[in-house]
Amino acid sequence: MLEARRILLIIGGGIAAYKALDLIRRLRERGASVTPVMTAAAGEFVTPLSVAALAGEKVYSELFDLTNEAEMGHIQLSRVADLLVVAPGTADLMAKMAQGLANDLASTLLLATDTPVLVAPAMNVRMWQHPATQRNLAVLRGDGVHFVGPNDGDMACGEFGPGRMAEPLDIVAATEALLAVGPLAGRRVLVTSGPTQEPIDPVRYIANRSSGAQGTAIAAALAALGADVIFVTGPATVPPPPGVSVVRVETARQMRDAVLAALPVEAAVFAAAVADWRMSQEVTSKMKKVAGARPVLDFVENPDILAEVSRIGDGRPTLVVGFAAETDDVAANAADKRLRKGCDWIVANDVSAATGIMGGAENAVTLITDAGAEVWPRMGKREVAGLLARRIAVALGAV
Ligand code: C5P
């Protein structure tokens, strides 16, 4: 719920502006008040009248409006909110934000604010993929700006790909996560997720079937309890959840570096399916097919990130949770693994092909702690994540 929360909603000029109308409704349904600001271009897509009617508040759009300056100056306007939401976040607005431009009301508010900012980018796929936009995205992430979306999909311009604005309910979820006053508010936690990819040569790699669904759901559940989540993810098939700080990696070694850089954290959940091995030597040219000859691949072990963090000594997270994907003797193997890795809990699951768990929507887990094994009934990965997040909050003494 967003009871009594104040959102300053900046509507950029893009076709997705029509979704901002639904977003206003959804935010208000949850108890938030919404002060709308429209860029000049936004007015080409939705009318200030509809926006004001849905928000139940006047629309701000001009920087040099003396009446407003007398009522509420632009500096104050940018500070009274609990969160600034930019939806649609156009390429132009992102560029202005990254450069610190302040040549209209929206960009001035974004520069003058000291409250968190959530951007829901929306633009043509080529504009999103353009190096300039990706550069701006990286700058803004570095500045602490939060992002939700964009999603993949058909676009109004007839193209397909990333650039579609996140759906209003996803933006609401990200808003709730950012404003959460849940039991884990202010607590820093880390979640690793997804597979890793280990290059064989410049075109081939070794990976695994992890979709990242369970790790993503755990990160979302922890964020929903108010935690500051650092989400270190390999190339997963499901997108990262809103409201978390995403660090994207490919290899196990990159994941290890990202994890160590994220410390200290109070709890760390290692849900990633990290490749156990990588090629012993980096091959920089494509391996050629030679008639009759089989390739010889030589491997070395990857760093065991979970084991390393569990035994890191000073600065060890209070709670370290590992996963065990097993196909036989799940509980016994997982209990061994808990001791071998030195972690506090192991979430064990049976990933035999017949269970359909790897890449599926459900999970059947056994939680191994120092008190023994708890078998949880089969349930959705989101439910598993919700229960686990609660247990983590309890273990950290937060509830
Ligand atoms: O040894 P195994 O791969 O079965 O261990 C699984 C657990 O260890 C998972 O929590 C996984 O995220 C973590 N792990 C890791 N680094 C590795 C291998 C596994 O963090 N190199």
| Residue 70 pLDDT level (bands cut at 50, 70, 90) | low
Spatial distance between the Cα atoms of 359 and 310, rounded to a whole number of angstroms: 27
Please check whether residues 152 and 251 belong to one and the same domain: no
Q: Which atom of ligand 1 is nearest to the CA of 272?
A: 12
In the prediction, which pLDDT does 63 show?
Answer: 66
Of 131, 152, 178, the one marking the end of a domain is: 178
Residue-wise pLDDT for 143-185, tens only, equals 989 999 998 877 777 778 889 999 999 999 889 888 876 889 8
- Domain of 26, CATH number, reads 3.40.50.1950
In the prediction, which pLDDT does 114 show?
Answer: 87
In the prediction, which pLDDT does 350 show?
Answer: 86
Tell me how far CA of residue 174 lies from CA of 50, 117, 326, 391, in angstroms.
24, 11, 33, 22
In-domain check, residue 328 = yes
Residue-wise pLDDT for 336-367, tens only, equals 999 999 999 999 988 888 888 777 788 889 99
Q: Which class for 37: exposed (0-12), middle (13-18), buried (19 or more C-beta within 10 A)?
A: buried
Please check whether residues 126 and 54 belong to one and the same domain: yes
Say which residue, 251 or 244, is predicted with more confidence. Answer: 251
| Total-model pTM | 0.67
The answer, yes or no, to whether residue 327 has pLDDT greater than 60, is yes
Q: Are strands 188-193 and 299-301 parallel, antiparallel or unpaired?
A: unpaired
Q: What is the DSSP annotation of 110-172? A: HHH--S-EEEEE---HHHHHSHHHHHHHHHHHHTT-EE--PEEEE-TTS-EEEEEPPPHHHHH
Catalytic (active site) residue 157 = yes
CB–CB of 113/148 below 8 Å?
Answer: no
In the prediction, which pLDDT does 368 show?
Answer: 97
Of 148, 178, 208, the one marking the end of a domain is: 178
CA of 225 to the centre of ligand 1 (A): 25
Q: Is the CB of 322 under 6 A from ligand 1?
A: yes
The pLDDT of 130-134, averaged and rounded, is: 97
The answer, yes or no, to whether residue 392 has pLDDT greater than 90, is yes
In-domain check, residue 183 = no
Please check whether residues 194 and 167 belong to one and the same domain: no
The pLDDT of 230-240, averaged and rounded, is: 94
CB–CB of 167/173 below 8 Å?
Answer: no
Q: pLDDT above 70 covers what percent of the chain?
A: 97
Q: Is the CB of 305 under 6 A from ligand 1?
A: yes
Q: Are strands 205-206 and 198-199 parallel, antiparallel or unpaired?
A: antiparallel
Please check whether residues 138 and 69 belong to one and the same domain: yes
Spatial distance between the Cα atoms of 299 and 202, rounded to a whole number of angstroms: 16
In-domain check, residue 267 = yes
Nearest CA to ligand 1 atom 5: 324
Number of domains observed in the structure of the chain? 2
Q: Is the CB of 306 under 6 A from ligand 1?
A: yes
Angle between the 91-99 and 131-142 helix axes, to the nearest 10 degrees? 50
The answer, yes or no, to whether residue 69 has pLDDT greater than 90, is no
The closest alpha carbon to 191, from 278, 265, 112, belongs to: 265
Please check whether residues 198 and 70 belong to one and the same domain: no
Which range of residues forms the domain containing residue 249? 188-395
Q: Which atom of ligand 1 is nearest to the CA of 323?
A: 10
The answer, yes or no, to whether residue 394 has pLDDT greater than 80, is yes
In the prediction, which pLDDT does 242 show?
Answer: 78
